[in-house]
Amino acid sequence: MNLRTISALVDKDYRLYFRNRFFAIITVLGIVAYLVIYFVMPKTVDENLEIGLYAPSLPPAFGEIEEEGLLITVTGSEDALKAGVTEGEYVAGISLTADFIEQLMAGQKPRVSVYFASDTPPEIRDSVGVIINEIAYQISGQILAIDITEEILGPDMLGQQIPPRNRMRSLIAILLIVMETLGLATLISEEVAHRTINALLVTPMTVKELFVAKGFTGISMSFIQAVLFMAIVGGLNRQPLLMLTTLLLGSGMVVGISFVIASVSKDMMAVMGTGIVSLIILMVPAFGVMFPGMVTGWVRIVPSYYLIDTIHGASNFGTGWSDNWLNLLIVLAFDVAIAVIGIMVLRRKFR
């Protein structure tokens, strides 16, 4: 492996990349646009508490509680209440039994079921408990014992509610990374279409060095952009080493996918057509982070899911190596598998 050869090829690819007006503009304006979008997104969460209630007989005290800023919506059934919580309409749902008031008045301990959305913060969970006690107090005039049963609907995210802009971080980081599949695939397909590859292959350069150089170009282009973005938006503040490792592994995925796209594309337009499809597929898990509940378990078959899950967890919840090692291992396995497939199919095109 000759580093001089690899550096010459990388240098050449960078020149060609930035002399392609489309990619030069997309790259520079892309980062700026993503940063603008990020910073115009709300940085705080909505502080209104929207709570669903299922109560066969509505306690009279609710009118007074609503005046304190709570938005309480009464549902017609317990199933409707659960659905509302799952879909994010309410941060919590309170289900009272039909004999709630009677049990209270009789000095018994009525059971109250409380349903929480997976990302409901602990302070809101606590405040819902206070609300229920307040209801009981206002009905009976004294503090009474209530049996509160909590149930989390959907995956429990430890309850940290995060602002939209922070949710967006993983979406934009992954977008910056996967966009480079188009750039690298275009560089390769044009190399084949214009037969410059033939000129390279009659020099002492080996095919292995060519693939390493292309890989380095793809990884560095996507990695630098993603790291730059994450650094500016504070995505590296928590777990920086884990985040850098994750972004590097994500950039590695670009290489194999680019090789596959380039092997089936004759020119830039073909790359765009094929590449956009793969780009959309890779982006789906990120939309799942932006809009919880939008995607379900099947999204785990998309390689980028594990990448996005780690970026989201580490940057927004501070999850560490022990939480994410399996994700990283899976991403690495995907990287290697896709790269091997990419090299195999692209080699055939070089002949």
Which spans of this chain sit near another protein (rule: CB under 8 A)? 2, 4-5, 7-9, 11-12, 15-16, 19-20, 194-196, 198-206, 351
Give yes or no for a contact between 257 and 181, defined as CB atoms under 8 angstroms apart: yes
Give residue 44's identity as a one-letter amino acid code. Answer: T
Strands (E), the chain: 49-54, 70-74, 92-96, 111-117, 147-153
The residue (of 242 and 262) whose beta carbon lies closer to another protein is 262
| Minimum distance, C-beta of residue 177 to another protein, in the bound complex (Å) | 25
The residue (of 192 and 236) whose beta carbon lies closer to another protein is 192
| Minimum distance, C-beta of residue 190 to another protein, in the bound complex (Å) | 9
The residue (of 2 and 160) whose beta carbon lies closer to another protein is 2
Give yes or no for a contact between 226 and 261, defined as CB atoms under 8 angstroms apart: no
DSSP state letter for 300:
G
The residue (of 143 and 202) whose beta carbon lies closer to another protein is 202
Assigned token pair, 141: 């005039």
d(CA 311, CA 285): 12
d(CA 171, CA 243): 14
| Minimum distance, C-beta of residue 20 to another protein, in the bound complex (Å) | 7
Question: Got the DSSP string for 197-230?
Answer: HHHHTTSS--HHHHHHHHHHHHHHHHHHHHHHHH
| Minimum distance, C-beta of residue 323 to another protein, in the bound complex (Å) | 45
| Minimum distance, C-beta of residue 349 to another protein, in the bound complex (Å) | 14
| Minimum distance, C-beta of residue 263 to another protein, in the bound complex (Å) | 19
Pairing of strands 70-74, 111-117: unpaired
Give yes or no for a contact between 93 and 73, defined as CB atoms under 8 angstroms apart: no
| Minimum distance, C-beta of residue 260 to another protein, in the bound complex (Å) | 24
Q: With CA atoms as reference, report the closest residue to 177 among 321, 272, 279.
A: 279
